[in-house]
């Protein structure tokens, strides 16, 4: 099988810190990590490759060039090639413009299946895979928790989804887009000690818009159809802490608090 | 007059009208029409408050076919030209919204939890970085406005009666989708706290109340987890332990009952949206990272909260009964 | 004596053993020409015979032990032996069951100095490596085993508190007495050892003395070397030395220092006498501040120390390190904290001195922290056996672990320079910098002429568990050690050298290494004491 694995590197939110004096999130020390859902997607790519040893895994990411060391780390695993789509012109792209860039690139590629994560840790809006599926005219499924690699071939995929109430098993014709949800069982293999230092730069292609040739009005800030106009901190835990007693009044507060947020 | 289309929530059809609140906020309370696209085999279960409900008789699994739903919305939009299309941020909604936005070539703000107006311009708010950051987002493309809405955030209250026209959608479209559901299985009771959305977690101070944790967890649609103390004392199994030596969890709601909050425990709470802690001391370390602190006895708290939830549920049953008679 | 069985084969077998232990050999002989096949079969058969041979020898060692000890004093349980083959240095590989070092043959539990003597003489005669052990909280590989034939001599049964003499303010205990036990016994009557390392609930006196341990209150009470009055120890040749308990003497070099910090490479400690102190817990006073940078913290620590005051705790933390220790109040700033203890007048004077020092550098102070936070933190600082077991379980569960450290010391004028150089070099040079989840440090033990720096670093592990140390910890430690030695500091403030800093022992001591080497030659001429610890060994490099 020809597998394309779409991955994103996201800021590690555990490294997020809050500057109470400047009332701002300190992001300069933030470290990038492979988005956990995407890690699951890649781990299923490896499982598919185990089942179909002739498979080729191609990891594709759109990101600033600072993620090159992370791409190299992935290429030290059983990944056959990597493509990093990176151009300052893409900076500021919203999901619409991002899927435009990725979709344009993917149209030029041959593959049987695109694997991606369902949600990203930073945005968590699950838009890119669906929009890419739309651009390519493929089926797409979100929140997949397991791929039945034995029953998956170049023409059909079988997978299941653990919903809140039921587990459903599906089949889908390929090519198509499968988005994996993070689950506790996903784990990437380790590179060997010798491979840790291996130069894998020849497996990585870095593409700019020069190669892709997308109309500059369709990318970056100009190509975006949404715009972040205001950012503020949601981390108000310490400031907004409400203290109540375990009496009727307190319970009423807790109850409405839970109800407002849809837990009751 | 402005016209909004709301995609029905197939999981909780009666709650589909919560999205009316979003529509109201967009049009700032000004008169506008709201339509609902619903998939329902029975007409009894339809929500109130819509000017029009377009009812798709769901034979097979249309309500689980994102491409089919997109096709219906596209078809309706070509006739009725909606100004806004609101999609619930459910599993299927999260597949429909991006496709639809791409087909209509408009911007999409996904999983919003607030609508604001700033300098006469609409701003849609969503969280990012597991709730650490809020972004106010403007849509720069021409209408329709497409949004997906985080479930459980908005609630709509009926102010005046609306006459609802129910219109059956009879057109048979060809779904391009090859998706087939092969099997459905009710989820088994065993759970992994790493996948839980709601955790009711007990520590040393919840020893006496331990059997009640599960009752509360069930009432909130969640599961039970514990801190190390209860594992050490042989009360709970290590598989449900949160923390450095246990599991790192990321529920939306974490209720810490009788947990002191040693750093090793807090380590396990990296991506929790809301923390509610119940403790006899308000200066326990866990309290400083809690959104709500309840000072008091664990057992009393749980019992009282359960009573309050039970009271609410009785009310709901009562409402439904009334609804059926109407 | 032990190896008299087929003695004539012995040299050949050793050579085979050498090859066998160094290479994994996978040879497919199915398609070989008959001549070669025959040769290989003979060779491999030889290897098997040799393994059998070795096991006979090992069994004979155990048999010999039974003539010295009761069967209950000899532990050959394979799980315990696996556990004894490494310490906290390779804790992650250990938890994942991928340790690359050999297990010891047995753990033995002598119950008298005479039994220790018999065991050491036996091992010395038969070239059996000895790892002395008491408490098992070593972090630098001091308890790791690098030899095929090793006995771990554990002080488990040397567990008697011999005498608590409150008139002369000293306590005598056997090496296997847990510090906590002694401390509890003293506290009952209002006394303390003044020694409180994080490992207090687990660590034992013999181990603490052997590794030149330090405690959290060292700035007032001093480190273990300031507390030891006298001791008893056994040398490999069987000689038992007792250093008597006197307030002071001017006779010759201070021979206690041959024993304190020898890390089991010269002798086995069986008994120690330490000073004790009156304790005034009701006078304890805590101070905490959020500060601009670690440089400010160091300046204030120095101010308090050089003015002649001795708070029991004087610490300053970098932002990153503060965030992991004081998550409930750090506000992402550096933290400075003090504790004053002792008689009322001293506490008062010390407190005033702290406040004056803080006032002097007030430009660097952001705000004072509720002292209750500091007090709470201290009360929950120590690691129990449960914490250690839990950490172990945690490492099995996750691909990351926290708590790797390298501790160095230097004088006041260079300590911050070393700190900044290290952080800068790690950022610039370390190839897996992108896996670090935390990098920072704190100073926690101050002296009139300088202080220590405890570098801490956590990381996500993206390599096989057995490679973790050489991919992550060791290269980081190398940077820290090199930067420290470059500016004249000490690479090992309080964890000892163990087996993983031995490559720098010579650089640490420079021309004075001569003295260490002579001690080793004199007391352990056969090299049976804790092979690879402190003194670098070519043969041990494969495990480093």
pLDDT (tens digit, 0 to 9) for every residue of chain A, 264 residues total? 999 999 999 887 655 554 444 444 455 556 788 988 899 999 999 999 999 999 999 999 999 988 998 999 999 999 999 999 999 999 888 899 999 999 999 999 999 999 999 988 776 678 899 999 999 999 999 999 999 999 999 999 999 998 766 889 999 999 999 999 876 567 888 888 888 888 999 999 999 999 999 999 999 989 999 988 888 765 444 446 788 988 999 999 999 999 988 888
| Cβ neighbours of residue B37 closer than 8 Å, sequence gap 6 or more | B5, B6, B7, B8, B54, B56, B69, B72, B73, B76, B169
Instruction: Please indicate if the annotation marks B244 as binding a ligand.
Output: yes
Beta bridge partners of C286: C339
C400 in the Ramachandran plot: left (φ > 0), alpha (ψ -120 to 50) or beta?
beta
Q: Between these two residues, A76 and C390, which has the higher pLDDT value?
A: A76
Question: For the residues B80-96, what does the mean pLDDT come to?
Answer: 94
Q: Among residues of chain C, what percentage have pLDDT more than 90?
A: 72
Q: Using CA atoms, how far apart are residues B55 and B49, in angstroms rounded to an integer?
A: 15
Q: For residue A61, give the nearest of A109, A106, A97, A8 by alpha carbon.
A: A8
Lowest mean pLDDT among B60-64, B130-134, C477-481: B130-134
Q: φ and ψ at A134, to 5 degrees?
A: -60, -45
Of C328, C372, C394, the CB nearest to B288: C328
Residues 6+ apart with CB under 8 A from C504: C481, C485, C491
Asked if residue B115 belongs to a known ligand binding site, the reply is no
Residues of chain B contacting A162 with CB distance shorter than 8 Å:
187, 195
Q: Do B137 and A163 touch (CB under 8 A)?
A: no
CA distance B218 to B210: 14
Q: What is the pLDDT of residue C383?
A: 66
Q: Which of A116, A34, A110, A100 is nearest to A72 (CA)?
A: A34
Q: Which of C518, C515, C544, C183 is nearest to C382 (CA)?
A: C183
Range of the domain at C291: 281-379
B218 touches chain A (CB under 8 A): no
Is B195 an 8 Å CB contact of chain A?
A: yes
State the pairing for strand pair A113-117/A176-180: parallel
Q: What's the CA gap between A146 and A115, in Å, rounded?
A: 12
Q: Is the peptide bond before A8 cis (omega within 30 degrees of 0)?
A: no
Look at residue B162 in the predicted model and tell me its pLDDT: 84
C69 near C110, Cβ under 8 Å? yes
Helices within C248-406 (DSSP H only): 256-259, 294-306, 319-325, 344-360, 371-379, 385-397
Q: Report the pLDDT value the prediction gives residue C122, as an integer from 0 to 100.
A: 95
Does the pLDDT at position B113 exceed 90? no
Using DSSP, state whether B30 is helix, strand or coil: coil
Copy the structure tokens of residue B57.
Answer: 């008789």
Subunit contact B245:C325, Cβ cutoff 8 A: no
* Token digits of residue C149: 């034939």
Q: In the prediction, which pLDDT does B190 show?
A: 67
CB proximity C329 to B under 8 Å: yes
Between strands C240-243 and B114-118, the pairing is unpaired
Q: Please report residues of A whose CB lies closer than 8 A to that of C434.
A: 31-32, 69-70
Measure B46 CA to nearest chain C CA, in Å.
Answer: 47
pLDDT computed for residue B13 by the predictor: 79
Tokens of B33: 């029409």
Q: Is residue C344 part of a domain?
A: yes
Flag whether B241 is marked binding.
Answer: yes
Nearest to A134 by CA among A183, A182, A176: A176
pLDDT at residue number B44: 72
DSSP one-letter string for C440-477 = EEEE--B-SSEEEEEEEEEEE--S-GGGHIIIIIHHHH
CATH class of the domain at B193-312: alpha beta
**What is the tens place of the pLDDT at every residue in C247-257?**
999 998 999 99
- Of C298, C317, C274, nearest to C438 by C-alpha is C317
Please check if B264 is assigned to a binding site: yes
Which of C393, C458, C460 would you mutate first to test chain B, the one with the most B CBs within 10 A?
A: C393
Contact at CB, B309 and A173, closer than 8 angstroms = no
| A231 to chain B: closest CA residue | B135
Contact A196 C463 (CB under 8 A): yes
Residue B68, exposed/middle/buried by CB under 10 A (0-12, 13-18, 19+)? buried
Query: Among B263, B249, B138, B144, which Cα is nearest to B195's?
Result: B249
> Cα distance from A26 to chain B (closest Cα, Å)?
12
Domain made up of A2-226: CATH architecture: 3-Layer(aba) Sandwich (3.40)
Which of A190, A201, A237 should be substituted to probe chain C, the one whose Cβ sees the most C Cβ atoms within 10 Å? A190
Find out whether B152 is annotated in a ligand binding site: no
Question: Which pair of tokens denotes residue A132?
Answer: 């890419």
Q: Which of B326, A197, A137 is nearest to C463 (CA)?
A: A197
Per-residue pLDDT reduced to its tens digit, C54-77: 555 888 899 999 999 999 999 999
Quick: pLDDT tens for C483-500.
Answer: 999 999 999 999 999 999
Count Cβ atoms below 10 Å from residue A66 Cβ, excluding itself: 11
DSSP for C236-288 reads TTS-EEEE---S---SSS-THHHHTT-TTSS-EEEEEEEE-EE--GGG-EEEE
B227 in a known ligand binding site: yes
Of B123, B130, B305, the CB nearest to A121: B130
For residues C476 and C372, the model is more confident at: C476
**What does the pLDDT average to over C302-308?**
98
Which of B91, B294, B308 is opposite residue A143, by nearest beta carbon? B91
C517 domain residue, yes or no? no
Smallest CA-to-CA distance from B262 within A89, C48, C391 is with C391
Please state, in angstroms and as integers, the Cα–Cα distance from residue B190 to each residue in A165, B186, C55, following that order: 13, 12, 48
Q: What is the pLDDT of residue C201?
A: 87
Gyration radius of chain A's alpha carbons = 21
Each domain of chain A, given as residue ranges in start order, spans 2-226, 234-264
Q: Which of A42, A164, C323 shows the shortest CA–CA distance to B252?
A: A164
What's the complex ipTM? 0.85
Q: Which residues of A touch B301 (CB under 8 A)?
A: 246, 251
Chain C nearest C-alpha distance from B259 (Å): 15
pLDDT at A77: 93
User: With contact defined as beta carbons under 8 Å apart, do C438 and C457 qualify?
Assistant: yes
B281 is in an annotated binding site: no
Are the CB atoms for C49 and C5 separated by under 8 Å? no
Q: What is the mean pLDDT of chain C?
A: 88
Cβ–Cβ contact B223 with A under 8 A = no
Q: What would the pLDDT profile of B33-68 be if each residue is shown by its tens digit?
A: 999 999 876 667 788 899 999 999 877 778 889 999
Question: Distance between CA C350 and CA C373 in Å, rounded?
Answer: 20
B250 is in an annotated binding site: no
Facing C323 at nearest CB: one of A17, A70, A187: A17
Pick left, alpha or beta for residue C483 (phi over 0 → left; psi -120 to 50 → alpha; otherwise beta): alpha
The sign of the torsion formed by the CA atoms of C67, C69, C72, C75 equals negative
Give the neighbours of chain A: at least 3 Cβ pairs within 8 Å: B, C
Structural tokens at position B1: 């007059």
Residue position matching structure tokens 């020849």:
A202
Interface of B with A in 31-70 (CB under 8 A): 66-67
Is the Cβ pair A70, C434 closer than 8 Å? yes
Contact B98 A11 (CB under 8 A): no
Beta-bridge partner residues of A176? A113, A139
CB-defined contacts B:C, below 8 A: 33
3-class secondary-structure state, position C313: strand
pLDDT score, position C346: 97
Place of tokens 């532990």: C75
Provide the β-strand partners of residue B181.
A170
State residue C14's pLDDT score. 34
**pLDDT at residue number A149:** 94
CB contact under 8 A, B263 and C324: yes
The CATH number linked to C357 is: 3.30.70.3450
- Shortest CA distance to C270 belongs to which of C111, C377, C129, C457? C111
DSSP label at residue B253:
E
In three-state secondary structure terms, A76 is coil
CA dist., res. B65 & res. B42, Å (int): 19
Classify the C-alpha dihedral C360-C365-C371-C376 as positive or negative. negative
Closest residue by Cα to residue B107 from A132, A133, A226? A226
pLDDT (tens digit per residue) in B223-276: 999 998 888 777 887 778 887 667 778 899 999 999 988 777 887 786 788 999
Report pTM: 0.76
The answer to whether B7 and B38 have CB atoms below 8 angstroms apart is no
Question: Quick one: DSSP state of residue C399?
Answer: S
Closest CA in chain C for residue A15: C437
Asked whether residue C315 is assigned to any structural domain, the reply reads yes
Q: In C, which residues are within 8 Å of A197 by CB distance?
A: 431
Residues of B in contact with A161 (CB under 8 A): 91
Domain range summary for chain B, segments of one domain joined by + = 3-169, 193-312
The rounded distance, in Å, linking the Cα atoms of A98 and A63 is 10
C2 pLDDT higher than 50: no
HSE-up (13 A, CA, CB side) for residue B76: 30
User: Is the pLDDT score of C21 beyond 50?
Assistant: no
CA C411 to chain centre: 23
Chain B residue numbers with beta carbons less than 8 Å from the beta carbon of C458 are none
Domain count, chain C: 1
Paired sense of beta strands C150-154 and C129-133, if any: parallel
What's the average model confidence in pLDDT over C180-193? Answer: 96
The CATH superfamily assigned to B3-169 is: HUPs (3.40.50.620)
**Residues of chain A positioned with their CB less than 8 A from the CB of C471:** 193, 196
Task: Tell whether B263 is in a known binding site.
Answer: yes
For residues B273 and C23, the model is more confident at B273
The pLDDT, as a whole number, for residue A179 is 96
Residue B319 in tokens:
């409402």
**Separation between Cα atoms, residue C544 and residue C536, nearest integer Å:** 11
B chain contacts of residue C393, beta-carbon cutoff 8 Å: 238, 245
Is B175 marked within a binding site? no
Strand segments (E) across A12-123: 17-19, 24-26, 32-34, 56-62, 81-85, 113-117
Give the pLDDT of residue C47. 52
Partner chains of C (3+ C-beta pairs under 8 Å): A, B
pLDDT of C15 above 70: no
Would you tell me how many other CB atoms lie within 10 Å of the CB of residue C341?
Answer: 25
Name which of B247, B266, B283 is nearest C327 (Cβ-Cβ): B266
């Amino acid at each position: 099988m020809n597998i394309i694995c779409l991955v994103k590197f996201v800021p590690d939110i555990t490294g997020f810190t809050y500057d109470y004096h400047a009332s701002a999130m300190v992001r300069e020390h933030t470290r990038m990590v492979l988005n956990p859902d995407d890690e699951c997607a890649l781990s299923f790519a490896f499982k598919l490759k185990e089942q179909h040893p002739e498979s080729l895994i191609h990891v594709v990411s759109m990101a600033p060039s600072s993620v090159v060391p992370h791409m190299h780390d992935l290429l030290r695993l059983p990944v056959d090639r990597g493509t990093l789509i990176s151009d300052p012109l893409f900076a500021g792209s919203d999901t619409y413009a991002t899927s435009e860039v990725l979709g344009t690139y993917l149209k030029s590629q041959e593959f049987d299946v695109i694997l991606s994560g369902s949600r990203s840790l930073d945005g968590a809006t699950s838009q890119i895979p669906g929009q890419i599926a739309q651009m390519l005219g493929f089926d797409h499924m979100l929140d997949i928790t397991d791929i039945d690699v034995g029953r998956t071939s170049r023409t059909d995929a079988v997978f299941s989804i653990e919903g809140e109430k039921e587990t459903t098993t599906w089949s889908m014709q390929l090519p198509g887009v499968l988005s994996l949800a993070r689950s506790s069982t996903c784990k990437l293999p380790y590179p060997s000690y010798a491979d840790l230092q291996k130069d894998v730069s020849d497996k990585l292609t870095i593409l700019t818009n020069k190669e892709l040739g997308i109309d500059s009005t369709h990318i970056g800030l100009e190509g975006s159809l949404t715009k972040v106009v205001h950012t503020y901190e949601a981390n108000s835990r310490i400031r907004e802490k409400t203290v109540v007693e375990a009496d009727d009044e307190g319970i009423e507060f807790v109850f409405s608090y839970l109800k407002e947020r849809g837990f009751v | 007059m402005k016209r909004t289309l709301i995609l029905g929530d197939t999981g909780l059809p009666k709650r589909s009208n919560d999205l009316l609140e979003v529509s109201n906020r967009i049009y700032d309370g000004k008169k506008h029409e709201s339509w609902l696209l619903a998939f329902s085999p029975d007409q009894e279960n339809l929500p109130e408050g819509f000017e029009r409900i377009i009812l798709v008789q769901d034979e097979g699994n249309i309500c689980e076919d994102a491409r089919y739903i997109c096709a219906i919305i596209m078809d309706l939009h070509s006739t009725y030209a909606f100004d806004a299309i609101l999609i619930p941020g459910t599993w299927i909604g999260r597949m429909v919204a991006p496709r639809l936005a791409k087909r209509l070539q408009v911007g999409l703000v996904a999983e919003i939890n607030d609508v604001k107006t700033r300098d006469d311009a609409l701003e849609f708010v969503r969280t990012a970085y597991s709730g650490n950051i809020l972004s106010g987002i403007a849509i720069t493309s021409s209408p329709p406005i497409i949004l997906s809405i985080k479930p459980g955030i908005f609630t709509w209250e009926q102010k005046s009666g609306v006459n609802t026209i129910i219109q059956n959608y009879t057109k048979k479209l060809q779904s391009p989708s090859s998706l087939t559901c092969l099997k459905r299985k009710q989820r088994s009771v065993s759970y992994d706290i790493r996948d839980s959305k709601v955790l009711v977690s007990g520590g040393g101070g919840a020893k006496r109340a331990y059997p009640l944790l599960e009752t509360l967890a069930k009432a909130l649609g969640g599961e039970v987890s514990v801190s190390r103390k209860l594992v050490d004392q042989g009360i709970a199994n290590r598989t449900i332990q949160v923390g450095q030596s246990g599991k790192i969890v990321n529920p939306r709601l974490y209720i810490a009952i009788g947990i002191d909050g040693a750093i090793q425990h807090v380590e396990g709470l990296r991506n929790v949206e809301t923390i509610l802690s119940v403790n006899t001391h308000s200066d326990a370390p866990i309290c400083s990272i809690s959104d709500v602190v309840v000072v008091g006895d664990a057992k009393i708290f749980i019992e009282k909260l359960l009573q309050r939830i039970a009271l609410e549920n009785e009310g709901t049953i009562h409402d439904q009964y009334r609804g059926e008679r109407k | 004596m032990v190896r008299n069985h087929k003695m004539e084969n012995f040299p050949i077998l050793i050579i085979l053993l050498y090859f066998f232990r160094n290479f994994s050999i996978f040879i497919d002989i199915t398609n070989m020409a008959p001549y070669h096949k025959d040769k290989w079969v003979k060779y491999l058969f030889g290897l098997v015979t040799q393994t059998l041979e070795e096991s006979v020898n090992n069994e004979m060692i155990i048999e010999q032990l039974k003539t010295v000890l009761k069967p209950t004093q000899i532990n050959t349980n394979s799980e315990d032996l696996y556990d004894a083959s490494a310490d906290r240095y390779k804790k992650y590989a250990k938890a994942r069951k991928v340790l690359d070092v050999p297990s010891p043959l047995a753990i033995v539990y002598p119950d008298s100095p005479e039994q220790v003597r018999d065991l050491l003489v036996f091992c010395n005669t038969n070239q059996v490596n000895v790892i002395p052990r008491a408490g098992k909280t070593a972090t630098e590989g001091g308890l790791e085993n690098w030899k095929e034939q090793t006995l771990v001599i554990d002080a488990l049964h040397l567990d008697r508190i011999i005498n608590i003499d409150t008139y002369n303010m000293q306590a005598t205990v056997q090496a296997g007495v847990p510090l906590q036990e002694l401390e509890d016994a003293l506290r009952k009557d209002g006394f303390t050892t003044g020694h409180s390392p994080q490992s207090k609930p687990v660590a034992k006196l013999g181990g603490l003395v052997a590794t030149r341990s330090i405690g959290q209150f060292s700035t007032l009470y001093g480190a273990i070397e300031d507390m030891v009055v006298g001791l008893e120890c056994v040398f490999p040749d069987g000689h038992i030395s007792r250093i008597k308990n006197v307030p002071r003497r001017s006779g010759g070099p201070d021979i206690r220092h041959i024993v304190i910090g020898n890390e089991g490479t010269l002798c086995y400690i069986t008994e120690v006498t330490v000073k004790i102190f009156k304790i005034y817990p009701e006078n304890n006073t805590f101070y905490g501040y959020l500060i601009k940078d670690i440089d400010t913290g160091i300046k204030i620590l120095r101010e308090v120390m050089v003015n002649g005051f001795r708070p029991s705790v004087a610490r300053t933390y970098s932002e990153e390190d503060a965030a992991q220790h004081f998550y409930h109040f750090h506000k992402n700033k550096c933290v400075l904290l003090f504790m004053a203890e002792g008689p009322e007048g001293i506490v008062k004077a010390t407190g005033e001195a702290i406040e004056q020092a803080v006032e002097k550098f007030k430009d660097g102070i952001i705000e004072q922290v509720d002292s209750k936070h500091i007090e709470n933190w201290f009360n929950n600082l120590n690691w129990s056996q449960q914490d250690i077991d839990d950490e172990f379980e945690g490492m099995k569960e996750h691909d990351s672990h926290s708590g790797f450290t390298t501790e160095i010391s230097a004088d006041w004028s260079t300590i911050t320079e070393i700190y900044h150089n290290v952080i800068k070099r790690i950022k610039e040079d370390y190839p897996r910098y992108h896996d670090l989840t935390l990098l920072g440090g704190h100073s926690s033990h101050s002296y009139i002429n300088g202080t220590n720096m405890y570098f801490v670093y956590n990381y996500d592990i993206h390599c096989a568990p057995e490679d973790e140390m050489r991919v992550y910890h060791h290269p980081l430690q190398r940077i820290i050690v090199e930067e420290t030695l470059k500016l004249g500091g000490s690479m090992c403030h309080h964890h000892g050298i163990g087996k993983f800093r031995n490559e720098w022992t010579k650089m640490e001591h420079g021309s004075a290494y001569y003295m260490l080497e002579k001690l080793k030659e004199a007391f352990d001429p056969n090299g049976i004491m804790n092979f690879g610890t402190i003194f670098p060994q070519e043969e041990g490099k494969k495990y480093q």
